[in-house]
Chain A
Amino acid sequence: MDTLVKIEKVVKVYRVGDEDFTALHDISLNIEAGAFMSFVGPSGSGKTTLLNLMGGLDKPTSGNIFFENINLKDLNRTDLAEYRRKNLGFIFQTYNLLPVYSVYENVLFPLLLDGEKESAVRQKVLDLVEKVGLSDQVNKKPAHLSGGQCQRVAIARALVKQPSLILADEPTANLDAENSYQVLELMRDLNRQLKAAFVFSTHDEKVTKYVNREIGLEDGRIIWDKKRDGNGVLE
């Protein structure tokens, strides 16, 4: 598999009051294209910070993050916005759907931001809505959907531009067990169909059953990096 993201000796230090707080200590790892993996660990372990840095939302204090050989450190604010727009999809714990727009419109939105004409992408959006199992809800507003359905819309929105990397921060934290499993299965299916890499930050053990790779974080350090072997066991 080709390397999609290369994280090289990354350190992230935050200034908290008069003191420095090191959120990530010398992290190095590679993420392959089409990966389906998670960062697990308790609060404050550095999971979200890592997603922030990979998403170009923040810059490391030292070290480098390469996305397809582009060093994110070299990109300015506008370039980073373009990097996110072209390459990334985001899924949030609280879905962050736009409440006044329908399911169809929420999924369409990233394409409109990219300057696409609705008529040209209408079928693409409807196909994706069908893929996430919401064809019969296409004109409903988020307020009329269940949590699981909202997260499906968020997944469709993240995937509509066919990005190569999806960053999902605690995607199942607001869902009950049944909905969590359904959403995880959906993401795994889409990962296989669309070949987009999914990277989760989570402390939900249910996610472990689905991912092919799990990286444990504690106090900003990698404490394990398990990959699923031929027998389906994470080692």
Chain B
Amino acid sequence: MIRWILAGILRDKTRSLFPFLVVMLGVALVVYSVGFMEGVFMGMIDTTANLDTGHLRFVNKPFYDEEHLNPMDRALAAQKETGKWLRENSDPKVQWSPRIRWGAIIDVPDEKGETRSQTPMIGMALDLLSSDSTEIERLQLKNAIVQGELPKGPKEILLGDQLAETLDVKPGQTVTLIGQTFDGGLATDNYKVVGLVRFGVSAMDKKMGLIDLANAQDTFYMEDTVTDWLGFFPSHVPYTDYRKVSSELQSRLAGFREAPPQGWAKDDFPIVLSILDQRNMENMESMFKLVKKIIVGVFILLMILVLWNASLLNGIHRYGELGLLLALGQTHKKIVWMLGLEAFFIGLLGSLSGCLIGGAVVYYMQEVGINMGDAFVQTGMMVNDVMRGRVTLEGFLLGIGPGLVASIFGSLIASVAIFNRSEANLFRELEAG
């Protein structure tokens, strides 16, 4: 019977082509929309994680509570011991990197050594000079360099290209960082600008500088001390797993707090956060899920309406055939079941085709993306200029599910008419052709 139904679908275009096209288009749009949203959201998560919060963050609570003030004195000491504990106690998929968030005034001198330009800036110190550093790859610094080169020696700094433009600084010039030491004193140090970077995140490109972690510890008197330990997952781990791993680590942390490293202050109280706990990401996630539901819901509704209509027309087109089925002794229920099965196959074919088309577009978006840099230039959002899609299993499931549901549901609503069809006039109706 299934072969019979499939043959009917394939041979009679009037019964299958339009519903097939509706489902295909609807599913392609759902897969594309979900894939694009996933890509944008994951892009936002990864960009934020790499430049700011990590997927996981191990940070001293007193520092975190006042991080807008950059309280360096609440950074966490015993870097080596803490790093060892993190690597031994967290999920092996997580890569931990120590970082220092710093803030300073950057001063650019003229030929005479007088201040030519000056502005406050934020910075991140990370491992740039070790041969086994993963940070250069993580931040894709080689690609981000628009002028100059990566730091190769001590006291070298990378500046955001827009910041450099504001300050009129070029690679090769020396600048002075004026900030605060770990113990509250004045820190000043000269750095040579060796490169200008563009992350495609306007907020960062306008304000940020990057220096090596060991140099920052020297400049800000923070030996064996960092402000953050950032944990990074491989890209295939879904963001929904972050909280679980974070909770597991949090539960093990109690033991570490009870027997802390000697370097920790008495009131140090490190905590573990996932990215979703920071920067309002939880709300963004809720909103993202809501929008996803709305998109899928709207498409289901629209597809059901169109397919209902198409099924009604199909019912009229096949009035004689359905009458014949009744005359031959098919029950109304069985006929509805057959039409439902037919709709299932049309829905399945349409959904798979839609997935192929939608998936192909999302794949293109994932690999190539669309540059929206001009639109973000005035925003402070930590979003990469290049918007990318993301091919995910969920995207395909969200496409196939509604495609099938809409197809079957549309057909079943239209099939209600069959229950009302009387057999009493079948001879006359069938004689009419």
Whether the pair A48, B428 counts as a contact (CB closer than 8 A) is yes
- Compute how far the CA of A93 lies from the CA of B332 in the bound complex, rounded to whole angstroms: 24
Q: Which of B36-44, B291-299, B321-329 contacts A (4 or more CB under 8 A)?
A: B321-329
Q: A55 within 8 Å of B by Cβ? A: yes
- Compute how far the CA of A115 lies from the CA of B2 in the bound complex, rounded to whole angstroms: 11
Whether the pair A58, B329 counts as a contact (CB closer than 8 A) is no
B147: shortest Cβ distance to chain A, in Å?
68
As a 0/1 sequence over residues 307 to 326 of chain B, the CB contacts with chain A under 8 angstroms (1 = contact) are 00000000000001101111
Whether the pair A55, B328 counts as a contact (CB closer than 8 A) is no
Interface size class of A (residues with CB under 8 A): 35 or more
As a 0/1 sequence over residues 82 to 114 of chain A, the CB contacts with chain B under 8 angstroms (1 = contact) are 111110101011101011110001000110110
Q: Which of B4-12, B101-109, B138-146 contacts A (4 or more CB under 8 A)?
A: B4-12
Q: B379 within 8 Å of A by Cβ? A: no
Whether the pair A81, B324 counts as a contact (CB closer than 8 A) is no
Checking A58, A94, A169 against B423 with a beta-carbon cut-off of 8 angstroms, the contacting residue is A58
As a 0/1 sequence over residues 34 to 67 of chain A, the CB contacts with chain B under 8 angstroms (1 = contact) are 0000000000000010011001111000000000
- B interface SS class: helix
Interface size class of B (residues with CB under 8 A): 20 to 34
With contacts A94-B431, A100-B8 taken as known, whether A52 is within 8 angstroms of B424 at the C-beta atoms is yes
Q: Which residue of A lies closest to B325 (CB)?
A: A113
- Compute how far the CA of A52 lies from the CA of B424 in the bound complex, rounded to whole angstroms: 7
Q: Which of B1-26 contact A (CB under 8 A)?
A: 1, 3-4, 7-8, 11-12
- Cβ contacts under 8 Å, A84 to chain B: 327-329
- Cβ contacts under 8 Å, A55 to chain B: 327, 427
B35: shortest Cβ distance to chain A, in Å?
37
- Cβ contacts under 8 Å, A85 to chain B: 328-330
Q: B433 within 8 Å of A by Cβ? A: yes
- Compute how far the CA of A94 lies from the CA of B412 in the bound complex, rounded to whole angstroms: 29
Whether the pair B423, A92 counts as a contact (CB closer than 8 A) is no
With contacts A57-B327, A113-B330 taken as known, whether A96 is within 8 angstroms of B430 at the C-beta atoms is yes
Q: B426 within 8 Å of A by Cβ? A: yes
Point out which of B7, B326, B430 has the most chain A C-beta atoms below 10 A from its C-beta. Answer: B430
Q: Which residue of B lies closest to A115 (CB)?
A: B1
A114: shortest Cβ distance to chain B, in Å?
9
- Compute how far the CA of A85 lies from the CA of B431 in the bound complex, rounded to whole angstroms: 20
- Cβ contacts under 8 Å, A214 to chain B: none
- Cβ contacts under 8 Å, B1 to chain A: 112, 115
Q: Which residue of A lies closest to B423 (CB)?
A: A57
- Cβ contacts under 8 Å, A83 to chain B: 329
- Cβ contacts under 8 Å, A101 to chain B: 4, 7-8, 11
Q: B371 within 8 Å of A by Cβ? A: no
- Cβ contacts under 8 Å, A58 to chain B: 423-424
- Compute how far the CA of A105 lies from the CA of B427 in the bound complex, rounded to whole angstroms: 23
- Cβ contacts under 8 Å, B332 to chain A: 77
Whether the pair A81, B431 counts as a contact (CB closer than 8 A) is no
Q: Which of A94-144 contact B (CB under 8 A)?
A: 94, 96, 98-101, 105, 109-110, 112-113, 115, 118
Chain A residues in the interface with B (C-beta under 8 A): 48, 51-52, 55-58, 77-78, 80-86, 88, 90, 92-94, 96, 98-101, 105, 109-110, 112-113, 115, 118, 169-170
Contacts A/B (CB < 8 Å), 14 sampled = A52-B426, A55-B327, A58-B423, A81-B331, A88-B329, A93-B431, A96-B430, A100-B7, A100-B8, A100-B12, A105-B7, A109-B4, A112-B1, A170-B431
**Apart from A77-B331, A96-B320, A98-B8, 5 more pairs, CB < 8 Å:** A58-B423, A81-B329, A92-B431, A96-B430, A110-B328
